[in-house]
Amino acid sequence: MTLYELTVIVIAVIALLILRKFDKKILRNFVIVFIGILLLQYFTQALWLTVGLAKWSYLYQGVNWIITLGRTTMVIVSMAIIDFFFPKFSERARFRLYFIPILITGLIGEAISSSRGTIQYHPKLLESFSGITIFGSVPIEAIYYIPVFMLLAISFARYWQIILDNNQKTKKNDVRKKGGSK
């Protein structure tokens, strides 16, 4: 196991252990975000090349679950930070704020991954970019690419969290009603 893969896994485990203290549903929420990002990665796989990671971490062609895990940790930690510091804010306000830490951590992650050549952009994608780079080899377009990408992933995650929470509430109410009628 290479250092990169191991680091991503360890960071994800540590984040989950810490966040479990604040959110009992963190594992479920983590899985939902993971699925959302995986769907996006699968769909846009032709645009990126994930190179040099261990064979076992590839799910399908260039789709790599270590990258998914890294991005999921980034999203879940960013959301937790905002939820922790701004609990009184409306969901809509917090939704907007999520993108500040996501953009910062996303750019850091992208800078690390692209500088070591783990994530490479397809030449066709680079053709549509301006050619200006930041933090080494990260295209400046990442400033809008990361939030747009994550906007879809977070919407997917929050929508499913709400559906599953409501489902649970409905089941609890049903149990209560049945219990009451006996």
CB 55 within 8 A of CB 65: no
Does 44 interact with other proteins (rule: CB under 8 A)? yes
At residue 137, φ and ψ (nearest 5 deg) are: -115, 20
Of residues 5-34, those binding other proteins (CB under 8 A):
none
Does 168 interact with other proteins (rule: CB under 8 A)? no
Does 39 interact with other proteins (rule: CB under 8 A)? yes
Q: Which of 9, 11, 140, 151 binds other proteins (CB under 8 A)?
A: 151
At residue 24, φ and ψ (nearest 5 deg) are: -70, -20
Does 164 interact with other proteins (rule: CB under 8 A)? yes
Of residues 78-97, those binding other proteins (CB under 8 A):
90-92, 95
Cα distance between residue 146 and residue 163, in whole Å:
26
| Alpha helices per DSSP H over the chain | 3-19, 26-43, 65-85, 91-115, 123-127, 142-181
Q: Which of 10, 100, 148, 175 binds other proteins (CB under 8 A)?
A: 148
x/- map, 58-77, other proteins, by CB under 8 A = ---xx---------------
At closest approach, how far in Å is the CB of 17 from other proteins? 28
Cα distance between residue 15 and residue 161, in whole Å:
19
At closest approach, how far in Å is the CB of 172 from other proteins? 15
What angle do helix axes 3-19 and 26-43 make, rounded to 10 degrees? 140
Cα distance between residue 12 and residue 26, in whole Å:
12
How far apart are the two ends of the chain, measured CA to CA in Å? Answer: 57
Of residues 104-143, those binding other proteins (CB under 8 A):
122, 124-125, 127-128
Q: Site residues (CB under 8 A) for other proteins?
A: 36, 39-40, 42-47, 61-62, 90-92, 95, 122, 124-125, 127-128, 145, 148-149, 151-153, 155-156, 158-160, 162-164, 166-167, 170
